Structures are given as C-alpha cells and as structure tokens.
Amino acid sequence: MNASCLSFLAALQIAGSLLATGTYRRIAIVASDLASRGIDWDDVESSLIFGDGAAAVIVERGDNTNGAIHAYRMETYPAGKSFCEITAGGTRRNPRTGAVASDYLFHMDGKQVFKLASQLMGGFLDRLFESTGYTVTEMEIVIPHQASHLGMQHLRKRLAIPDHVLVDIYGQHGNQVAASIPTALHEAIVGGRLKKDSPALLVGTAAGLTLGGMVLTL
C-alpha cells in the first residue's frame, strides 16, 4: 500500500476487511521509510523534520467479542497537491523534458500544508465521527501522524485534549512518513497507554493534501 504518510491507515483498513470476510486469519502490516534518501538537504524546512523508521503490526481475525474498527475515512484535496511533492518522475518532469537533479527530491511548503489542514480538519473529524456513537472528547488516546512540532501542537489545541491523551513522539523520532503512526501506536501499547476496549483515534495528514482517520478499539 502506498498512501504516503497515511499508508498504515489504508493498509489497516484493507487488512481489517480481509480478516472480516474470512479471506485471511492473520496479516502482517510492515511500514518503513528511508526519508533521508529523498530529502533535499539544502531545503532546511523539510530536511529538519524527517526521520527514517520502520514498524510492523500483526492483526488477526477476532471472535466478535473485542477489537473493532468503528470508523475509517480518507479525503484528498487537490488544492494542496503541490505543497508536498516530488516533481519529477512523470510525463511533465523527466530527463527528456529537462528535469534537474533536485526535481527528483522531496520538497514541501510546510506553511501552506498547515494552513490548509487547519481549515479542513474540523469538518473532517465531524464526518469521521458522525456514525460512530463517539465524540472526539471520548477518545481515551489519540495517535496522530507525527507531522511536525507545529502540527502536533495545533492538533492538541484543535481537539482540546490533555497531554496524557495525545501520543507525541516527534521529539524522539521526527516525521517517519508511513512508519510514523505505527511507531506511535507501538509506543502507546508498550507504555500501557492503549488499553483493551478503550476507544482510540488514529489521525493524520499526507501529501495530496490528504486527511485520514480511524476510530478503533483493541
């Protein structure tokens, strides 16, 4: 699955569907990114926030007594398509059309990403939660994509959640792209913060600009 920073959420949704239909009994989801390979190190804004990482999660078919995905949603807004991109590699920017080396590296306009995501997040969360029977304030833990320090601070304020509810590992790991959410999920589980039957919100942004979220219980 390749959905940029939200790849793990997309994979988890598909894995859950395959388990629910009985197609498979147990599935391993492995997320890894070597962000350092594709960063333009002359671009201070993007080179300072990313980190390499990998994480794996094994999910298996349950007995209908515990563990459930209560909601999943992903929305893409093409207005933000140029805010996070590698411009080369397609028909418009390639060696035959005059692409240069930096066109094959990742570039980001963090201010524009933050601005657009801030405008869209409220409505997105309303649509995510509308059929769950839960509200954001009832989430016992929130596991976000570790986009940036500013992004984490905004999410905390936007959701009006206390520090102990938000899993923030950005200071130790940076933005690990697809490995970001499962790494934070691991930290929540081994730290005893994510408990059985406790509602949790997994949420984040990705290139596109895309917003994604999932409400689940273990």
When pLDDT is cut at 50, 70 and 90, the band that residue 158 belongs to is: confident
When pLDDT is cut at 50, 70 and 90, the band that residue 213 belongs to is: very high
Q: What is the mean pLDDT of residues 52-68?
A: 88
- Are 167 and 143 in contact, with CB atoms under 8 Å apart? yes
- Domain 4-217 in CATH 3.40.47.10: yes
* Cα 117 to Cα 120: distance, rounded to the nearest angstrom: 5
φ and ψ at 139, to 5 degrees? Answer: -70, 125
Q: What is the mean pLDDT of residues 131-153?
A: 92
What pLDDT, on a 0 to 100 scale, did the predictor assign at position 44? 82
When pLDDT is cut at 50, 70 and 90, the band that residue 64 belongs to is: confident
What pLDDT, on a 0 to 100 scale, did the predictor assign at position 28? 97
Extents of the domains making up the chain? 4-217
- Greater pLDDT, 65 or 179: 179
Q: What is the mean pLDDT of residues 2-7?
A: 93
User: Minimum mean pLDDT among 18-22, 43-47, 52-56: which range?
Assistant: 43-47
Mean pLDDT of the chain: 92
* Cα 167 to Cα 144: distance, rounded to the nearest angstrom: 7
Q: Is 139 left (phi over 0), alpha (psi -120 to 50) or beta?
A: beta
* Cα 125 to Cα 158: distance, rounded to the nearest angstrom: 11
> Does the structure show a pLDDT above 90 at 57?
yes
Whole-structure pTM value: 0.91
* Cα 65 to Cα 21: distance, rounded to the nearest angstrom: 16
Is the preceding omega at residue 209 within 30 degrees of 0, hence cis? yes
